[in-house]
């Protein structure tokens, strides 16, 4: 099975590398990092990753995957990327994402009418695209599988590989990775974090989120207009 993982400038690398680590533990999966060009892409924190395929030479995907990150905002209005995702999705058995990658899939019209999740700070924007937003670590709706924010990528990968290859093999991969989360304190979601922490983080994110909301609204309007003009 061919896994196409979109790798784009200013992505959050853990959105991608968490699932990548899981996928590469299954010999049946051939994984490619894909971008417009063959040169390195730099994530939002400065880590450089090298795509193995370009849009032009990428074989059809069995599993299509999109990570999130600040660079996701530009992709929502990037017709070349949206057209690539739509084209790959036509033959894909699974269409997937982690974090705000789901907003990119939504902007491409690939989550319309589905249940999906995203990072807690942006999950409400899914509703702009007629997507049912679900505050859950991993959401499976038919052949759409979406993970919540950043660290959910490993959970997402294990969930998908369990459906593909059985729970026993997914459990073996989990053990091989020693994935047994034990964070130093509770508070990784707004419902578990202290109210003061939620307020502080939300305040820091506010200008960035305002920009993302504006772009999401434009992308949703563009998607609706494209659907309305189709015969």
pLDDT in tens, 60-69: 999 999 999 9
Q: Where are the domains of the chain?
A: 2-228
- Give residue for tokens 């995907």: 61
Helix H or strand E segment including 164: helix 152-165
Mean pLDDT of 177-196: 95
Is this model's pTM higher than 0.85 or not? yes
pLDDT at residue 172, as a whole number: 98
Residue 138 pLDDT > 50: yes
Residue 174 to residue 106: CA distance in whole angstroms: 30
Q: What percent of the chain has pLDDT over 90?
A: 97
Mean pLDDT of 49-75: 98
Q: What percent of the chain has pLDDT over 70?
A: 99
Residue 176 pLDDT > 70: yes
- Which residues lie below 8 Å from residue 54, measured CB to CB, with a gap of 6+? 34, 35, 36, 37, 38
pLDDT at residue 227, as a whole number: 79
With cut-offs at 50, 70 and 90, classify the pLDDT of residue 230.
low
The CATH number of 2-228 is: 3.40.50.880
Strand partners, 54: 35
- Which residues lie below 8 Å from residue 111, measured CB to CB, with a gap of 6+? 95, 102, 105, 126, 129, 131, 144, 146
Residue 74 pLDDT > 60: yes
pLDDT at residue 231, as a whole number: 40
C-alpha count within 13 angstroms, C-beta hemisphere, residue 212: 22
144 by Cβ neighbours in 10 Å (0-12 / 13-18 / 19+) ranks as: buried
Residue 7 to residue 128: CA distance in whole angstroms: 25
Mean pLDDT of 114-125: 98
Residue 86 pLDDT > 60: yes
Mean pLDDT of 23-48: 98
Catalytic residue among 99, 108, 145, 220: 99
Cβ atoms within 10 Å of 192's Cβ, excluding its own: 11
Residue 58 among the catalytic residues: no
pLDDT at residue 213, as a whole number: 98
pLDDT at residue 229, as a whole number: 55
Mean pLDDT of 161-188: 96
Q: Is the torsion defined by CA of 113, 119, 120, 121 positive or negative?
A: negative
* Tens of pLDDT, residues 157-174: 999 999 999 999 999 999
C-alpha count within 13 angstroms, C-beta hemisphere, residue 122: 32
Length, in residues, of the chain: 231
């Amino acid at each position: 099975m061919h896994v196409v993982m979109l790798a784009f400038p200013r992505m959050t690398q853990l959105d991608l590398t968490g699932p990548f680590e899981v996928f590469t533990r299954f010999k049946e999966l051939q994984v490619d990092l894909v971008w417009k060009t063959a040169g390195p892409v730099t994530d939002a924190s400065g880590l450089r990753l090298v795509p193995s395929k370009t849009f032009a030479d990428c074989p059809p995907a069995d599993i299509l995957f999109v990570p999130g990150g600040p660079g996701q905002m530009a992709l929502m209005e990037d017709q070349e990327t949206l057209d690539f995702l739509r084209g790959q999705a036509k033959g894909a058995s699974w269409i997937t994402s982690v974090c705000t990658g789901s907003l990119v899939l939504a902007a491409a019209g690939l989550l319309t009418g589905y249940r999906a999740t995203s990072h807690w700070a942006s999950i409400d924007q899914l509703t702009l695209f007629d997507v049912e937003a679900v505050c859950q670590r991993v959401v499976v709706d038919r052949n759409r599988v979406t993970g919540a924010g950043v660290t959910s990528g490993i959970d997402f990968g294990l969930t998908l590989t369990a459906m593909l290859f059985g729970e026993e093999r997914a459990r073996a991969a989990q053990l091989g990775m020693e994935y047994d989360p034990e964070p130093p304190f509770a508070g990784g979601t707004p419902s578990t974090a202290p109210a003061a922490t939620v307020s502080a983080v939300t305040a820091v994110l506010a200008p960035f989120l305002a920009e993302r909301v504006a772009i999401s609204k434009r992308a949703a309007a563009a998607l609706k207009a494209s659907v309305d003009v189709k015969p």
